[in-house]
Amino acid sequence: RHDRRPHDEL
Amino acid sequence: MNIFRFLGDMSHILSFVILLLKITQGKSAAGISLRTQELYMIVFCSRYLDLFWNFSSLYNSFLKVVFIACSSAIVYIIRFKSPQKDTWNPELDNFPIQYLIGPCAVAGLLINQDWTPFEMIWAFSIYLEAVAILPQLFLLQKQGEVENLTSHYVAALGAYRGLYLMNWVYRYFTEDDYLQRIVWFAGTVQTGLYIDFFYHYYQSKRGGLSRPVKLP
């Protein structure tokens, strides 16, 4: 796993 | 989307509905911290800059607009609209929010996802949201007793991020490549700040009696 920011959260 | 995140968003929307009802119908912002509302407006206006280029879903974009509009409307009403503006007490609601904004801005610069300008702003908004409730909690502490609607407002607001914590746990176990330590840390701090309030809120609402929430 590596940090990533899903852009689907408010 | 999972049930925790959906309920979290609904709880967040509920907090807006309660607050807007309170200040428009009740014609008073007594007990509400304008400072906290200003912080939320900064949080949403900075975090949702990507409204113009990140299209994830209609649901997502619609709520981004709703959150920016509602938080701005609340600040406008409490600051400029009569008679609400006369019910705001700057002596009581005087938390130095610059001591929140400054460190969050530095943290956003130093600890963010991809070192791009927007990710720095996004991280800033996440850190700021975590501490944005402090002026409100301090105001309630000063007043000792919490008005009924205000207590439901703060409870809904605390529940929203608590449900998001469950959403992140759910995503961690159901998605194989999911890791979001920045927002997990901030969300934990944010929900942690409500623990004391939740305890008193529960004590006051237990057994159906709507005794006022008392903060020591």
What is the average per-residue pLDDT within B172-195? 96
Instruction: Give the whole-angstrom CA distance, residue B214 versus residue B143.
Output: 9
- A7 with B178: Cβ contact below 8 A: no
Instruction: Give the whole-angstrom CA distance, residue B34 versus residue B72.
Output: 11
Confidence of residue B209 (pLDDT cuts 50, 70, 90): low
For B80-94, the pLDDT digits (tens) are 999 999 999 999 999
Window from B71-80, B144-153, B183-192, B201-210 with minimum mean pLDDT: B201-210
**Chain B residues with beta carbon closer than 8 angstroms to that of A5:** 113-114, 119, 122, 180, 182-183
Nearest to B49 by CA among B158, B132, B123: B123
Mutation site, A2, A3, A5, A8, interface B, largest B CB count within 10 A: A5
ipTM here: 0.95
Contact B49, B118 (CB under 8 A): yes
- The DSSP 8-state label assigned to residue B134 in this structure reads H
**pLDDT (0 to 100) of residue B141:** 94
Residue B21, token pair as written in the block: 């009802």
Q: How far is CA B150 from CA B22, B41, B171, in A?
A: 8, 19, 32
